[in-house]
Amino acid sequence: MHVSPAVVAAEHEWVRDRAPTVVALIDTVRAALGEQFDTEVASVTVDQYHRTVDEVFSDGDLAVNVAALVCLLRDLDVDGDYPGFVVDELLGRELAGMLAGNQPLRLLGEATFHYADVLTHNPEDTAGADDLDAALAAGFQTRLPGWEWTETPSPFGIE
């Protein structure tokens, strides 16, 4: 695999074009987690998703790594799928964390990846395809506003 600025630009467009699938999955994950944690979580619009994808890809150092993981997951397939379970989970979790941001959001994105991954499965796709959608949904849903606890200052900050 060779990653160039042109490849990063192409992956940026591919991730943007996944909006219908990813935004629907984000909203499904948010609704389920909101119910699980007895809280209201705002849904996400396609515009919010696009702006956040653009933000991620505007940081060249982050963009090249995100693009490489997207490429790997898009192309990853393993005969019988199960033997490749570890690698697609590893790549998906890492991508979700990168997209989510710095700690503690990174850890939340990684944890949410596994939750989103349970909600995605298409046996007609490659082994990495559902992990890619789960990673995009988990990472971006964590990065995007809508969780009440992220909307207010932390009570633990020292002034």
Task: Mark 32-58 as b/e (b = at least 16 C-beta within 10 Å).
Answer: ebbeeeeeebeebeeebbeebbeebbe
Interval 71-102: pLDDT, tens: 999 998 877 766 667 888 999 999 999 999 99
Span 138-147, average pLDDT: 93
User: In a 3-state reduction of DSSP, which class is residue 139?
Assistant: helix
pLDDT number for residue 84: 62
- Worst-scoring range by mean pLDDT, 94-108, 116-130, 134-148? 116-130
Evaluate whether 11 touches 66 at the Cβ level (below 8 Å).
Answer: yes
Percent of the chain with pLDDT over 70: 96
Could you state, in order of their start, the residue ranges of all structural domains in the chain?
5-147
Query: pTM score, two decimals?
Result: 0.93
CA distance 14 to 17: 5
DSSP-derived secondary structure letter, 103? T
The residue type at 23: V
Radius of gyration of the chain (CA): 15
* Token output for 150: 């992220």
Where do runs of H (alpha helix) occur along the chain? Answer: 5-17, 19-36, 46-58, 60-75, 85-100, 105-118, 127-143
Average pLDDT score, the chain: 92
Interval 66-77: pLDDT, tens: 999 999 999 988
Span 106-133, average pLDDT: 89
User: In a 3-state reduction of DSSP, which class is residue 101?
Assistant: coil
In angstroms, the Cα distances linking 26 to 29, 74, 79, 109, 130 are 5, 19, 29, 12, 13
